[in-house]
Structure 1
């Protein structure tokens, strides 16, 4: 989500350069429509990334708990040469 933060302002700056260079071209309306479309896409992507962030953190926490449970399960297993009572 952080990486998408500057994209909108970069798009705005690039668009201003196009408008200045285009002068009175009839394509300015189309450029504005394309820009608006990209701005919506950027915001949608930021929203999706934001919603995934919490879910991914929850998965990591759950996996860490599973890993710890598996490790604890093996802690009591005695192996030859592993310092156990064999």
Structure 2
């Protein structure tokens, strides 16, 4: 089955016959518009994810920077033990891991915030376009 055939199977014929539509875009009696106005984007999850990435970045850096001072004096106090070398290796490994998490959170924070802003702006533009189409009223009758 070709891509085009599969598309027609899923979404209906393109010859003016019945086609697939979102339930929220079906006409609502008396409103002149489609849907109940409940298909909306919320910036909350994106904004929250950005904030969480920032908080995780901060707490990871705090933890990473506390590892070194927490190990001060171990080499001197445990001189002669073979575990000192292993402990130093583990310390270095954890510092690198936490630094990688910190850096990744820093890289994610801005783009997540940007998505929240973009989606919110897009929703505003779309909402305003409906206001113009229905004489300044609320889109779908429920906004």
User: Which interval holds the TM-score relative to the shorter structure?
Assistant: 0.7 to 0.9
Taking structure 2 as the reference length, what is the TM-score of the superposition?
0.47
Measured on the aligned residues, the alpha-carbon RMSD in Å equals 2.5
Deviation at 1:75, TM superposition (A): 2.5
Per the alignment, residue 7 of structure 1 pairs with: 63
Per the alignment, residue 122 of structure 2 pairs with: 66
In the alignment, which of 81, 97, 103 is matched to residue 47 of structure 1? Answer: 103
Asked whether the equivalents of residues 75 and 84 of structure 2 are also in contact (C-alpha less than 8 Å), the reply is no
- May I ask how many residue pairs the two structures share in their alignment? 79
Higher RCO, 1 or 2 (CA under 8 Å, sep at least 6)?
2
Runs of 4+ in 1 over 3 A off after TM superposition: 76-79
In the alignment, which of 58, 64, 78 is matched to residue 23 of structure 1? Answer: 78
Greater fraction helix: 1
